[in-house]
Structure 1
């Protein structure tokens, strides 16, 4: 049966799944220690949400709900994590749910400090508020930003209710937040304070300034003990080691970290290029030789100090692109790896399975050796503009070829070694000012076809890196720039598209032109689906053309985009063509019908798209975003009926994966309500439910006489000399204490005295479940008139069994109770016509129920036997 999905403006084919490659931004991290787990946790801000990692493995633990605005600062205490977004401060419980919001600031909050049961926040307007964790304002201080602009906050160790404030003017103030008194003012060092950090010694703090000075100051004596100066600009962060060596680490805006020895008062080591951007925060783990850093380059790094001379080495890291990715492609046939080239010049691989499988292939570099006077940055190649990969021979030689912005040379990369390859491919007679524009690797993995802006199309051998020829007369395949190249599955044909409005078909081996096709506009990009033989071209007039490479004719034309088409991709079966453009739309075209079947908007223009070879995920990259976003294919989860969309269709905005909009001011439910699942009493009318009681409670009811004979004591029991004290309990196998005021009659109520309702038998059934086998036999024996019961009780018991069978609940108990009941009272029931009629009705119900169950059992056994035979 086909399910028709009515499109309401969103996507009926794709739904947001998650985002890859986002770890950190410019906001300083917060470090927590979990007493129960005995483990450190790192909290970083990524846009509007918080990410929590365990420091031991740097594995992501949780992602918080999104706030209404980007997070500007983070703080944490033993139970909660605090994050400021705009003028509001939110408290997160379990690193996820917002449990409290603090409103009171009139400007953007930029500093947070957790102090016991209090939270201190400062905004850009000069307001400093001391909050009670429950949400009440305990104290409000107003500073004039022109004379004292709060730029750093710190709680001095052992100073009860004291806060040390640093200003961008250079002065420091020590406040008592309980009495609202200014205790002391430090004149400063004629430079703005950028960082404050408590040292392991009491009364001694580290002060970082905007001029690069590090001052170790005793605040009790108002005495400067020592000072250092780094040459890399302002101090972005300070951290003191607490595991023994007297070392202080300072971060810089250039991404370098310096380590200073407080005893010898000198620089002992430095870690250059620890981050490609400013070091947002650096924190030493308590009593461990580990330093945790994060930065705006989307990286989290853990450094260990086990080198000679006090140096550090990188122990583990999580890092993505520090600049937005421009080109993404799936690598391999399993769809688990996505290659991404970013504006930061790096080529990275993101795993859709787990982050530990991510790879960073690094930056492209010039082939010549480093010369004296050349910096590290000057040896780097520009960002990758286009690349192609193949897995056929990647174990033998390089399997990735990339073009760089403004460069004619193309580089090879090795995926398995995660390094740049051995070859730099470049024509022997390069044209002046020519650059490489398009690249493709053959399906066999032996050759690379590279097109350039001067119209050349060259072939290179990937094993040796040698030039194997070029297409066209006079070494030119096109009179304009080459916009796309592609080779078929069997290496028989090569297709090239140029800005001269021509699509040309060449023989791969002889490099002779077979045919050319005139296009309506200059092509922007080209993509060949080798299995189906469909070649898609995105043109500069915002239209699409699909060419069949067998007939060499245009078989489909699509129009609808209102901006430059940035990228195109095919579904694995070649049925769908997915395109992304600068009009912020992601469109899916159905090739057999020639219609637009899905279209939705995103908040940021997509620049890259790739469909998984298995068809389960669609990956997109967006302008001004560092992550790779995954969208699940709904058609794999269930049947989805697609209808052609009208020409005037107006799509709606779909939220990017990994970003959810929630109301942070609403309360959240308790953890028990979210995690505990309550099963239904009965799943269906055709099914039965067992009681889950031990088999000893019902399986031996018909053999109680034999059990009593076997368990008959050899000697009579004797009373102990001193009987211990016992609390009164109710009869049954489940221990239940009676209340002190309960009487003996209330504690022991036999079944014959219970009220049998004609419809509901829950109370008698619960009473029988609490009885053991012997007590159950006694209860059923007392139902007959000779035992103090009545004939109406016998009929009521039959009706109770009938009700249990009709509902399908306690199937095993119903049969066991009925068997014991008939064994005890069959002679009396045979003389009662009303009871016999009820038993006849019950017999029909038993037979019908067992017939359905036996049919289900037989069918299951048949399928199981067939499966076993098929496997053998």
Structure 2
């Protein structure tokens, strides 16, 4: 039973329409009923031995005792009244029978993670829905997990050891596991916030002593220490002509602070507009004009990428998530040839910023000169640009032909899960890692001064990549992967006596996965590899070449799993069974 759900009525009925909870009350009440009958029998025997009472009095007392016995028997089976305080506490805190202890198989959600550096160590903070957990950056070991919060985390920001989490309209600050700050935009605005998508928070940004929060219609500047609202800017303040004509106003979609730009932020809108805003005065410093005209055609590298992406479009399925609906609304409102702004990333070079668009295009611009430096584009199969990151280290492989070319790269995350690498030296396409994530990539960040990239997506995984190959492409260094989709099967692999390992299956977008979950060490959790399926899928009689279909049943034998494969799975719409090795964690 998930936290926050009060158990008020039994969900199922046994044969005859009797609730199992009523049966438990009946069995618990039997000893009390038997005890009452014994007491009545003993008292009747004592009174019989006395022989001092008349027959009328004995008959009246027996009738009264029978009534009392019936009342006791009826009260034993009657459900006890539930106090109102207990119901309120149950609805607020969760189940009254069980208390959540640990969360298994959950690494991260679609919320972008927060990266902070304390001393020489990096720490990664990920959202797990109504809680967050912190991993150390070297080996991705779990440091600690927060208890369930009172809201669903929709956005997150990290500043040193303080974690800021955003719900629909409110923001909270956490120091380790203690709440230290609270920011309520609706309270300071003295108005009721409509329950509409454009009024919900879309992002957070920590800027010195300020905390910036923005929804689709307003940007709020808070004092992080006192919690006071410093300034509130609405989108109508920047588009007076559209407001006067009662046209649809552009909505905030992206926010970034260029270094060395004091009290200024670059704001992106779903119309494709980019504004440089002064937070002290609330005035627009500059509007970028280099992206107002139609975008030029993509270069040869981009054209080649679009022609041969290597991704199977027929196997990809459109999801009906809230993110997809947001993309659809942005596409309908975009007026620029570039499309709606989806993400912005800072470059190690001053004044240079990369901007990603819903159309799949990427623009590298110089803010000071208002000049378009480079342009890249995703293929139609890759879709919108959801994440961007510049490599910011001086490392290069000694075996590489052009060290500078390998260093100056920009990495973009696509909606279909591809990780695309672009060279900033000439604007060339270096390559891509197809299906780096099983779903949209939501966050990309490089470690400062290191060739290490961390990515997260909607597939419940956190992956660390390292750039040490002559080709300039990264390879997977470490990862933490959880259940990809809802869990359909779960069983203790080592027996219920040990109870330390779980064998699970899950399904996402019609693709089935087999995974191992450890109750002792989170770093041992993994999803079984299915690489050989892509080569033998047609031979085995499967239609799709990417992943096996949804798992319908599974069986295993844990004895001597070092010697031979010991896991067999059945899949939807397939007449053949697949064999897995639990020891090798792979399909054979």
Deviations 1:760-815 (A, max 9, x none): xxxxxxxxxxxxxxxxxxxxxxxxxxxxxxxxxxxxxxxxxxxxxxxxxxxxxxxx
Unaligned 5+ residue runs, structure 1? 422-872
**Which residue pairs with 1:414 in the alignment?**
581
Deviations 1:141-200 (A, max 9, x none): 011493331100000110000011000100111111112221111243522111111111
Alpha-carbon separation, structure 2, partners of 1:13 and 1:172:
53
SS of 2:528's partner is strand
Residue 72 of structure 1 and its aligned partner are, at CA, apart by 1.1
**Which residue pairs with 2:305 in the alignment?**
none
**Which residue pairs with 1:832 in the alignment?**
none
Alpha-carbon separation, structure 2, partners of 1:364 and 1:408:
20
Deviations 1:261-308 (A, max 9, x none): 111310112111110010001011111000000011100000001111
Larger Rg: 1
Alpha-carbon separation, structure 1, partners of 2:96 and 2:129:
27
Asked if the contact 1:347/1:363 (under 8 Å) is kept, the reply is no
Asked if 1:337 corresponds to 2:501, the answer is: yes
Map 1:588-599 to 2 at 5 A: none
Asked if 1:142 corresponds to 2:234, the answer is: yes
Alpha-carbon separation, structure 2, partners of 1:100 and 1:280:
27
Asked if 1:27 corresponds to 2:111, the answer is: yes
Given the superposition, is the C-alpha separation of residues 273 and 327 from structure 1 closer, same or farther in structure 2, using an over 3 Å criterion? same
**Which residue pairs with 1:760 in the alignment?**
none
**Which residue pairs with 2:258 in the alignment?**
156
Alpha-carbon separation, structure 2, partners of 1:177 and 1:65:
35
**Which residue pairs with 2:64 in the alignment?**
none
Given the superposition, is the C-alpha separation of residues 52 and 149 from structure 1 closer, same or farther in structure 2, using an over 3 Å criterion? same
Asked if 1:92 corresponds to 2:174, the answer is: yes
Asked if 1:179 corresponds to 2:295, the answer is: no
Alpha-carbon separation, structure 2, partners of 1:220 and 1:86:
35
SS of 2:435's partner is coil
Alpha-carbon separation, structure 1, partners of 2:513 and 2:115:
29
Asked if 1:168 corresponds to 2:270, the answer is: yes
TM-score normalized with structure 2 length: 0.66
Map 1:495-644 to 2 at 5 A: none
Q: Identify the structure with bigger relative contact order (alpha carbons < 8 Å, sequence gap 6+).
A: 1
Deviations 1:63-119 (A, max 9, x none): 22433321111112224211111110111112x222111011433211111100001
Alpha-carbon separation, structure 1, partners of 2:204 and 2:215:
9
Residue 32 of structure 1 and its aligned partner are, at CA, apart by 0.4
SS of 2:523's partner is helix
Alpha-carbon separation, structure 1, partners of 2:156 and 2:570:
40
Match of 1:242 among 374, 377, 392: 392
Given the superposition, is the C-alpha separation of residues 224 and 375 from structure 1 closer, same or farther in structure 2, using an over 3 Å criterion? farther
SS of 2:281's partner is coil
**CA-atom RMSD, angstroms?**
2.5
**Which residue pairs with 2:475 in the alignment?**
313
Deviations 1:418-463 (A, max 9, x none): 1123xxxxxxxxxxxxxxxxxxxxxxxxxxxxxxxxxxxxxxxxxx
Asked if 1:104 corresponds to 2:254, the answer is: no
Residue 370 of structure 1 and its aligned partner are, at CA, apart by 6.5
Match of 1:391 among 539, 543, 558: 558
Map 1:270-349 to 2 at 5 A: 270-333=432-495, 334-344=498-508, 345-349=512-516
Asked if the contact 1:65/1:97 (under 8 Å) is kept, the reply is no
**Which residue pairs with 1:213 in the alignment?**
361
Given the superposition, is the C-alpha separation of residues 141 and 375 from structure 1 closer, same or farther in structure 2, using an over 3 Å criterion? farther
Asked if the contact 1:236/1:280 (under 8 Å) is kept, the reply is yes
Asked if the contact 1:364/1:381 (under 8 Å) is kept, the reply is no
Match of 1:39 among 111, 117, 121: 121
Alpha-carbon separation, structure 2, partners of 1:62 and 1:254:
31
Deviations 1:656-677 (A, max 9, x none): xxxxxxxxxxxxxxxxxxxxxx
**Which residue pairs with 2:54 in the alignment?**
none
Residue 13 of structure 1 and its aligned partner are, at CA, apart by 7.9
Alpha-carbon separation, structure 2, partners of 1:15 and 1:208:
43
**Which residue pairs with 1:132 in the alignment?**
223
Asked if 1:66 corresponds to 2:148, the answer is: yes
Alpha-carbon separation, structure 2, partners of 1:49 and 1:210:
30
Alpha-carbon separation, structure 1, partners of 2:351 and 2:374:
14
Alpha-carbon separation, structure 1, partners of 2:116 and 2:534:
45
**Which residue pairs with 2:210 in the alignment?**
118
Alpha-carbon separation, structure 1, partners of 2:542 and 2:472:
25
Asked if the contact 1:350/1:358 (under 8 Å) is kept, the reply is yes
Match of 1:263 among 412, 422, 425: 425
Map 1:736-751 to 2 at 5 A: none
Deviations 1:549-577 (A, max 9, x none): xxxxxxxxxxxxxxxxxxxxxxxxxxxxx
Asked if the contact 1:332/1:390 (under 8 Å) is kept, the reply is no
Asked if the contact 1:365/1:379 (under 8 Å) is kept, the reply is no
Asked if the contact 2:534/2:545 (under 8 Å) is kept, the reply is no
Given the superposition, is the C-alpha separation of residues 247 and 415 from structure 1 closer, same or farther in structure 2, using an over 3 Å criterion? same
Given the superposition, is the C-alpha separation of residues 246 and 371 from structure 1 closer, same or farther in structure 2, using an over 3 Å criterion? farther
Alpha-carbon separation, structure 2, partners of 1:80 and 1:357:
28
**Which residue pairs with 1:227 in the alignment?**
375
Residue 259 of structure 1 and its aligned partner are, at CA, apart by 0.7
TM-score normalized with structure 1 length: 0.45
Count of paired positions: 412
Asked if the contact 1:299/1:319 (under 8 Å) is kept, the reply is yes
Given the superposition, is the C-alpha separation of residues 312 and 382 from structure 1 closer, same or farther in structure 2, using an over 3 Å criterion? same
Given the superposition, is the C-alpha separation of residues 375 and 224 from structure 1 closer, same or farther in structure 2, using an over 3 Å criterion? farther
Given the superposition, is the C-alpha separation of residues 16 and 203 from structure 1 closer, same or farther in structure 2, using an over 3 Å criterion? closer
Alpha-carbon separation, structure 1, partners of 2:431 and 2:360:
17
More helix by share: 2
Given the superposition, is the C-alpha separation of residues 410 and 98 from structure 1 closer, same or farther in structure 2, using an over 3 Å criterion? same
SS of 1:369's partner is helix
Given the superposition, is the C-alpha separation of residues 155 and 210 from structure 1 closer, same or farther in structure 2, using an over 3 Å criterion? same
Residue 368 of structure 1 and its aligned partner are, at CA, apart by 6.2
Given the superposition, is the C-alpha separation of residues 338 and 171 from structure 1 closer, same or farther in structure 2, using an over 3 Å criterion? same
Alpha-carbon separation, structure 1, partners of 2:576 and 2:537:
18
Deviations 1:398-433 (A, max 9, x none): 221222122222222111111123xxxxxxxxxxxx
Alpha-carbon separation, structure 2, partners of 1:168 and 1:314:
34
Unaligned 5+ residue runs, structure 2? 1-27, 30-79, 187-192, 194-198, 240-247, 293-335, 395-406
